[in-house]
């Protein structure tokens, strides 16, 4: 496991009086399905742009808790997205949730390593291929689309794309601003060399 060397780019907001929109964002998160506001991760970053944060948290709450995509598959998709973006924080948060939701530990290890999870259930393999193809070519073939639609149906396939888009937004936010990891946690991915 790698040493935690991620250095945040934003200074903590501690000691600064929150604006009305920042308070509204905190309250929306705490009173929603997440149940609490944590200043780390994307929400702490979005406090700097709370109007965006309010919209993003609403979309995120729906993508995580309100779609017809089963929790196991949703968390699997989040891990695939975290791996594509090498999003340290996103992976560390969602890997345990994915396992509790029924994603096998070997599948989680394979996805983290960038390997196709060959021993994963058929539905997870169909989603993995769809996601890999989408990231590789920015499109999906008729075959990949048909496999996923056979697993999820039409509405949940649309929701799947929404989950992918939302968690790509989260990953970009976390990566650009170098969201701090808990000090005792090691990054799951090697950080690219500084350019």
Going by C-beta distance under 8 Å and a sequence separation of 6 or more, which residues neighbour residue 146? none
pLDDT tens digits, one per residue of 141-191: 999 999 999 999 999 999 999 999 999 999 999 999 999 887 788 999 998
- The answer on 144 and 121 residing in a single domain is yes
Decide: 90 and 170 in contact? Cβ < 8 Å. yes
pLDDT tens digits, one per residue of 121-133: 999 999 999 999 9
Residue range(s) defining the domain that contains residue 109: 71-171
- The answer on 164 and 90 residing in a single domain is yes
- The answer on 44 and 75 residing in a single domain is no
- The answer on 158 and 97 residing in a single domain is yes
- Rg, Å, the chain Cα set: 17
- The count of structural domains within the chain is 2
- The answer on 114 and 91 residing in a single domain is yes
- The answer on 48 and 123 residing in a single domain is no
Residues of 56-68 as b/e, b for ≥16 C-beta within 10 angstroms?
Answer: bbeebbbbbeebe
- The answer on 76 and 57 residing in a single domain is no
């Amino acid at each position: 496991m790698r040493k935690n060397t991620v250095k945040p780019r934003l200074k903590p907001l501690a000691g600064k009086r929150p604006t009305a929109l920042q308070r509204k964002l905190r309250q929306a998160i705490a009173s929603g399905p997440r149940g609490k506001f944590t200043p780390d991760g994307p929400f702490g970053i979005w406090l700097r742009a709370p109007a965006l944060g309010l919209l993003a948290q609403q979309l995120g709450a729906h993508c995580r808790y309100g779609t017809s995509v089963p929790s196991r598959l949703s968390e699997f998709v989040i891990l695939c997205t975290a791996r594509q973006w090498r999003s340290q924080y996103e992976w560390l948060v969602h890997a345990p949730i994915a396992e509790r939701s029924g994603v096998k530990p070997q599948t989680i290890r394979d996805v983290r390593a960038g390997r196709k999870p060959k021993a994963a259930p058929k539905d997870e393999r169909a989603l993995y291929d769809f996601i890999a193809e989408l990231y590789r070519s920015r499109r999906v073939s008729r075959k990949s689309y048909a496999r996923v639609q056979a697993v999820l149906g039409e509405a949940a396939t649309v929701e799947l794309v929404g989950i992918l888009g939302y968690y790509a937004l989260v990953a970009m936010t976390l990566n650009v601003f170098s969201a701090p990891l808990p000090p005792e946690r090691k990054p799951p991915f090697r950080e690219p060399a500084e350019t």
